[in-house]
């Protein structure tokens, strides 16, 4: 079937990965494919990472200090990536700016440009407040340097620009920074929740789609967003700390030779404490997300409205493995037990976070693709086949290649951002 | 406002102003809402005219103004047709869109294919639909592969008048 | 629109509404346009008259430059076959571009079902197209204002402004929208807006030999279409979505969705 379709001279959008069964309307295809799965997944990670960092900044959970700073930088690296799947999905990517130019506010997508930019500004401001001292110090240090090379000149320029001309790093000025930072983080939490809640609204408000249309959708999306964000932060934090431990042991990195460099034991201790505490928050949000999802399912099954016949066939039969085995079983129950059962270790928690991330991804997949798995005629089905080997730009963008590009980008960005905003900067000043 | 912590705000304000200036030049000035309000008719108003200006391909040979366009020149044929069962079929369904005929194209591209006739004359056992009133054949049994127009005259399809 | 234009239009609408309507016996868009600026285009489908020839689909695709071999279409015809043992089969191969020239039902995935003619109970054809809803969810969700409802009731897409996000396609309960395979923007039935404004009937109405498709001005009480909609039992598709469709159907069955 797929081969036959590929031979068509005029391939329409969606035809390459949709297999239709029984009676589907002629124009029905899986128009929203893997990139739209990636979109809520990535915005979820952004929002979740930010919420984790705010736990420290706003509520003063002092023990989360190190992971908070890491999550903040990481959520900044994730920011452009939340937009990337949308741009890759658009049929007219060059016109993407129209969302900012003529926003039609009765559309859930129209607010995206504005909410997203607001949120980006908040995260950037918070980062500036946290790192201003570092910018000033680095700029001064580079200025004092004799015979600076080209790289140093460039770095000096960047750091000088980053200070925004605020060179005062007296104790009072830094105190002001901390206070402002706290306020920004406070504003940031509702904006982060809004950013992601309305990603849920984009789906929940589509009245034509029987699976999507539920007022619970935004709330489910927020909870699972926090779950995925916290899980990713824990995972990355453990990986980075392991790497630092490795460097500290072998004295490979420049910082490892400093007199005040953290020892292997210090790193191990910090990691253990941070992971244990954040995984508690992970558990709370998982419970909330799972409760809501199950509630939604039970409600649909109990009320049995017109669409239930076809929904039941999709949920209970066609997508059973994807929903109950992969999403709920491997992605929710198993990691929940791994973290909730006594004798929890960092290693067990780390494996659990990988499973949690998988579970949240499957949830997005089952919502976005599952919502298009049945025809509007309620008499036919559509099966999604992820294009793995692309035969055109479209099958690359909306295929495995595009999805992997989206996943890889935040890590690449994090590497470069980390050059100017070191996520593991030692901070001696107190709050 | 003297404090340095406000500086990011100045950057944001500068960005917003820049964006608004860009928007002023980028967005067509006729963007607005029609009488159905912002929710249903927020659009570039000149687009309506763009749609109206699209050229039409088919003339008026349809049921509502039967064969008006064609009879000006092809009156005799149209008359024969109009008196027959096939009189209800618009000329352009088989002869193709008139566009600017007779200037361009000078000759229309007539679809004489068997498939065209089979659209209506395939026998389907649907007694409750309009199809039941149309004489139908089994495409696999009735001279398969042959063009119907070899034996039947589409302008006068009466079997008793057959050549 | 500036204030002057707006006021001018207002005066036109008020004046138009107060003009006594001449009795139009035949729907002639040209006369309708001249006589009455207050127009609300509506579509009427008589499913009893449809024979499933698919000339409407072919004419629509030709008129509106939708590639014939592309598997998307602005209008299509569905075939419903009920067997005597109470099974239902529905199909619309290629949107009925080439009509229904086979008795077997297309089940998708390259599978077909031949139904014993003796077992066929009722069977009929249903033409479908954009309903040009009064409260169209597709225009509501467009993030950039690239799709809209005109004052005379037609839902259009601005091909120069559409970003191709597909939200309107998702929001339409009737699957009337799709991505144009060449232009890469959302596309849909326009009621042949260019033809209407030239005083012509839409391509599908023009092409239908059986009079199963008709169009008229529902704000004109003397319009034959309005008369039918007012006096006969007509239905609309999926009214539960609150979209207030402007395509009316005679002879709808419960299973037609």
Q: Please write the tens of the pLDDT for every residue from A245-301.
A: 887 777 666 666 666 667 777 777 777 887 888 888 889 989 999 999 999 999 999
- The span from the CA of A108 to the CA of A94, in Å, is 20
pLDDT of residue C4: 62
Give me the residue spans of the domains in chain C.
Answer: 23-48+130-250, 52-128
The residues that bridge with A384 in the sheet, in sequence order, are A18
Give the model's confidence band at C38: pLDDT under 50 very low, under 70 low, under 90 confident, else very high: confident
**Residue range of the domain that includes A11:** 2-420
Mean pLDDT of chain C: 87
- CA dist C50 and C211 (Å) reads 8
Report the C-alpha gap between A49 and A72 in whole angstroms.
7
Residue C146's closest CA among A102, A210, A359? Answer: A102
Asked if the C-beta of C184 comes within 8 angstroms of chain A's C-beta atoms, the answer is yes
The 3-state DSSP class for residue A260 equals: coil
Q: What pLDDT sits at residue C192? A: 94
Q: Rg (Cα) of chain A, in Å, rounded?
A: 24
**Residues A13-43, buried b or exposed e (16+ Cβ, 10 A)?**
bbbbbbbbbbbbbbbbbbbbbbbbbbbbbbb
Is A164's CB within 8 Å of B38's CB? Answer: no
User: Chain A contacts of C95, Cβ < 8 Å?
Assistant: 26
Taking an 8 Å cut-off on Cβ atoms, the answer to whether B48 and C156 are in contact is yes
d(CA A390, CA A174): 52
Element (H, E) at A18: strand A18-22
CB contact under 8 A, A207 and C173: yes
Q: Which residue has the higher pLDDT, A244 or A418?
A: A418
Contacts for A186 with CB less than 8 Å, ≥ 6 apart: A54, A58
CA distance C20 to chain B (A): 23
* Mean local confidence (pLDDT), C141-155: 93
Give the burial string for C70-102 (b: 16+ CB within 10 Å, else e).
bbbbbbbbbbbbbbeeeeebbbbbbbbbbbbbb
Number of domains in chain A: 1
pLDDT at A184: 87
Nearest one of C194, C188, C228, C190 to C27, comparing CA atoms: C228
CB contact under 8 A, A164 and B8: yes
CATH of domain C52-128: 2.30.30
C23-48+130-250: CATH topology: Alpha-Beta Plaits (3.30.70)
- In this predicted structure, the answer to whether residue C15 has a pLDDT above a threshold of 80 is no
Contact status, residue B88 vs residue C55, Cβ threshold 8 Å: no
Structure tokens at A279: 């995984």
- Is residue A254 within 8 A of residue A248, CB to CB? The reply is no
Residue A2 has pLDDT above 50, yes or no: no
Give domain limits for chain B. Answer: 68-161
- Coil, strand, or helix at residue B63? coil
Band (pLDDT 50/70/90 cuts) for residue A314 is very high
CA-to-CA distance for B65 and C200, rounded, in angstroms? 10
Tell me what pLDDT residue A422 has: 85
Q: Which helix (H) or strand (E) holds A134?
A: helix A111-144
Nearest CA to CA, how far is C209 from chain A (Å)?
A: 23
- Average model confidence (pLDDT) across chain A: 86
Residues of chain A whose beta carbon is less than 8 angstroms from a beta carbon of chain B are 97, 100-102, 104-106, 121, 124-125, 128-129, 164-166, 168, 173, 176-177, 180
Question: Looking at chain B, which subunits does it touch, using at least 3 CB pairs closer than 8 Å as the criterion?
Answer: A, C
Q: Which helix (H) or strand (E) holds B68?
A: helix B68-82
- Mean pLDDT across the stretch A348-370? 93
Q: Is the pLDDT of residue C143 over 90?
A: yes
On the question of pLDDT at C21 being above 80, the answer is: no
Residue A425 included in any domain:
no
Report pLDDT for C7: 58
pLDDT attached to residue C228: 92
Find the CATH number of the domain harbouring A295: 1.20.1630.10
Tell me whether residue A74 is in a domain: yes
Rounded Cα–Cα distance for residues A89 and A106 (Å): 21
Residue B98 has a CB neighbour count (10 Å cut-off) of 19
Residue A427 lies in a domain: no
Cα first-last separation, chain C:
39
Which of C40, C49, C29, C32 shows the shortest CA–CA distance to C213? C49
Q: What angle do CA A210, A212, A217 make, to 5 degrees?
A: 140
**C109: closest CA of chain B, how far (Å):** 23
Phi and psi, residue A115, nearest 5°: -60, -45
Provide, as residue numbers in chain A, all residues whose Cβ is less than 8 Å from the Cβ of B9: 125
Chain B hits for C161, Cβ within 8 Å: 43-44, 47
Mean pLDDT of A306-318: 92
Question: What pLDDT sits at residue C195?
Answer: 93
Average pLDDT over residues C58-69: 93
| Distance (Å, whole) CA B60 – CA C207 | 9
Q: Per the domain annotation, does A390 fall within a domain? A: yes
In this prediction the ipTM stands at 0.88
Blockwise average pLDDT, block size 10, chain B, 163 residues: 82 94 92 89 93 90 74 84 83 89 86 92 88 89 90 85 69
């Amino acid at each position: 079937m797929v081969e036959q379709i590929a031979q068509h001279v005029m391939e329409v959008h969606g035809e390459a990965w949709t297999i239709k069964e029984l009676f589907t309307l002629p124009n029905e295809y899986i128009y929203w494919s893997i990139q739209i799965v990636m979109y809520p997944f990535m915005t979820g990670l952004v929002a979740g990472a930010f919420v984790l960092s705010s736990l420290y900044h706003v509520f003063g959970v002092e023990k989360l200090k190190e992971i908070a700073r890491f999550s903040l930088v990481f959520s900044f690296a994730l920011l452009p990536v939340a937009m990337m799947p949308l741009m890759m999905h658009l049929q007219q990517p060059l016109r993407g700016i129209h969302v900012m130019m003529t926003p039609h506010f009765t559309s859930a997508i129209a607010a995206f440009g504005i909410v997203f930019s607001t949120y980006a500004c908040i995260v950037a401001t918070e980062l500036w407040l946290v790192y201003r001292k570092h910018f000033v110090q680095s700029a001064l240090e580079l200025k004092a340097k004799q015979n600076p090379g080209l790289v140093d000149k460039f770095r000096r320029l960047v750091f000088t620009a980053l200070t925004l001309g605020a060179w005062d790093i007296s104790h009072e000025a830094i105190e002001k920074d901390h206070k402002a930072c706290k306020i920004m983080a406070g504003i940031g939490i509702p904006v982060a929740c809004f950013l992601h809640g309305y990603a849920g609204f984009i789906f929940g408000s589509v009245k034509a789609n029987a699976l999507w249309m539920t007022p619970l959708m935004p709330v489910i999306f927020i909870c699972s967003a926090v779950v995925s964000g916290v899980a990713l932060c824990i995972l990355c934090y453990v990986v980075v700390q392991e790497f630092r431990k490795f460097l500290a042991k072998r004295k490979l990195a420049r910082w490892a030779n400093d007199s005040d460099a953290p020892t292997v034991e210090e790193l191990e201790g910090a990691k253990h404490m941070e992971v244990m505490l954040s995984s508690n928050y992970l558990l709370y949000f998982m419970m909330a997300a799972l409760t809501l999802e199950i509630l939604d399912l039970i409600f649909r099954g109990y009320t049995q409205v017109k669409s239930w016949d076809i929904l039941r066939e999709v949920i209970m039969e066609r997508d059973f493995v994807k929903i109950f085995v992969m999403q709920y079983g491997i992605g929710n129950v198993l990691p929940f037990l791994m973290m909730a059962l006594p004798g929890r270790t960092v290693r067990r928690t780390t494996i659990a976070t990988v499973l949690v991330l998988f579970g949240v991804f499957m949830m997005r997949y089952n919502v976005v693709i599952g919502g298009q798995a049945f025809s509007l005629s309620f008499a036919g089905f559509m099966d999604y086949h992820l294009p793995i080997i692309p035969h055109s730009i479209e099958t690359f963008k909306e295929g495995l290649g595009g999805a992997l590009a989206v996943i890889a980008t935040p890590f690449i960005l994090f590497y470069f951002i980390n050059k100017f905003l070191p996520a593991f900067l030692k901070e001696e000043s107190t709050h | 406002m003297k404090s340095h912590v406000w500086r990011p705000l100045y950057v944001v304000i500068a960005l917003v102003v820049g964006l608004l200036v860009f928007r002023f030049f980028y967005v067509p000035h006729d963007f607005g809402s029609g009488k159905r309000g912002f929710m249903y008719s927020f659009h570039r108003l000149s687009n309506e005219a763009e749609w109206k200006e699209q050229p039409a391909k088919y003339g008026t040979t349809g049921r509502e103004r039967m064969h008006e366009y064609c009879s000006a020149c092809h009156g005799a044929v149209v008359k024969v047709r109009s008196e027959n069962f096939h009189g209800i079929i618009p000329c352009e369904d088989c002869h193709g869109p008139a566009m600017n005929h007779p200037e361009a194209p000078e000759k229309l591209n007539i679809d004489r294919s068997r498939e065209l006739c089979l659209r209506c004359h395939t026998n389907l056992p649907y007694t409750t639909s309009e199809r039941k009133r149309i004489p139908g054949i089994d495409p696999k049994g009735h001279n398969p592969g042959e063009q119907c127009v070899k034996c039947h005259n589409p302008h006068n399809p009466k079997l008793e008048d057959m050549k | 629109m500036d204030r002057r234009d707006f006021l001018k239009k207002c005066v036109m609408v008020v004046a138009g509404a107060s003009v006594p309507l001449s009795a139009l016996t035949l729907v002639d868009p040209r006369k309708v346009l001249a006589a009455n600026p207050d127009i609300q285009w509506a579509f009427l489908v008589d499913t009893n008259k449809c024979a499933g020839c698919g000339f409407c689909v072919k004419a629509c695709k030709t008129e509106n430059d939708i590639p014939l071999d592309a598997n998307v279409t602005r209008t299509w015809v569905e075939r419903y076959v009920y067997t005597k043992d109470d099974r239902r089969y529905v199909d619309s191969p290629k949107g009925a571009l080439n009509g229904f020239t086979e008795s077997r039902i297309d089940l998708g995935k390259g599978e077909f079902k031949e139904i014993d003619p003796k077992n066929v109970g009722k069977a009929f054809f249903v033409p479908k197209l954009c309903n040009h809803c009064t409260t169209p969810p597709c225009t509501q969700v467009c993030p950039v204002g690239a799709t809209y409802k005109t004052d005379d009731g037609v839902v259009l897409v601005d091909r120069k402004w559409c970003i191709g996000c597909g939200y309107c396609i998702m929001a339409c309960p009737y699957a009337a929208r799709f991505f144009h395979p060449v232009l890469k923007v959302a596309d849909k039935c326009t009621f042949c807006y260019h033809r209407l404004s030239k005083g012509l009937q839409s391509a599908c109405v023009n092409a239908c030999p059986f009079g199963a498709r008709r169009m008229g001005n529902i704000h004109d009480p003397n319009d034959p279409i309005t008369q039918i909609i007012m006096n006969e039992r007509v239905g609309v598709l999926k009214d539960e979505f609150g979209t207030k469709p402007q395509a009316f159907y005679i002879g709808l069955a419960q299973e037609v969705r």
